[in-house]
Structure 1
Amino acid sequence: GPYDVLLFGKQAIDGDTAQVGPEVAGFLGVPVISFVTDVIEVSGDGILLERATDEGREKVYCDYPLAITVVKAGKRLRMPTLKGVLRSLKAEVGLFTHEMIDVEVDRCGLKGSPTRVKKVFSPEIRSKVRFIEGSVGEKAREAARIIKEIVG
């Protein structure tokens, strides 16, 4: 397509479903990297990114074109230059109405979303730690027993 990278936020504030970036990528047939925290390296063929996962962070390389969804990473944004601010005031930002893209109005926005969010919350993180004593063999047998107990 006429683009290398499609850039999306993590999620919209109205529906809180985090589906726009991945859905647009799917519609266009391009890969999506979600929860990007940093751009590590940009080359002529692709981009190396860092993304947040439940286990921490991982580095991911992807060829162009691709879509990314970004999250706050604790980095300070650069202050815009006066030249950049003035240029942004003159920039044309495209506006598409439902008529322009031939979509019924009742299929747009929160009203048209097939998803209904009832509640948004962060789950309570619970963990249990058990220290296993004994020889290496005893520890291995006890660990296997615990896993079988949990898994069934």
Structure 2
Amino acid sequence: MIAGRVDESGMSLVELLVALAVSMLVLLGAGRLYLGGVENLARVDDLGERQEAMTLGALFLLRDIRRGGVEPGRYTLVDAVNGEGCNLYDGVSGEPLVDGLAATARSCAASEPLQADVGGRAGLYRIVLRPLDVSEPLVLHGMDREAAVRYAGESVP
């Protein structure tokens, strides 16, 4: 050992600052990953709510179609109370059934969620529903059970 010089062990100030900078970069990256995960969760939750609205609306309509048809104009789309999209409205019960739908025509009132006698076939219905923020509507077809049995009996020789 040289006289007057003390052998010190430990880290220098520069080493400490470099370690601090590297750890901050790691923490910033981890924070960004966490925020990205939270944003994805919110998007998945929103998509799930839209999908739930579509499924519930289709189930209401298909249930009544299969039970014996639906009178024209029973189901309509009306403007939502909160101003976001349309509600599927049941004219018989007088209540909204499902919210979170979008108009399939110029407006909610001009949209027809249920069309009867599609292609001139009695008992065949077309369901047209569109979730909010989606450009293409979901189109389903349903048939009255009695009409389906009649139609199947007619095609049998």
TM range, normalised to the smaller chain?
under 0.3
Identify the structure with bigger relative contact order (alpha carbons < 8 Å, sequence gap 6+): 1
Structure with greater helix percent: 2
Normalising by structure 2, report the TM-score.
Answer: 0.22
TM-score when normalising by structure 1: 0.23
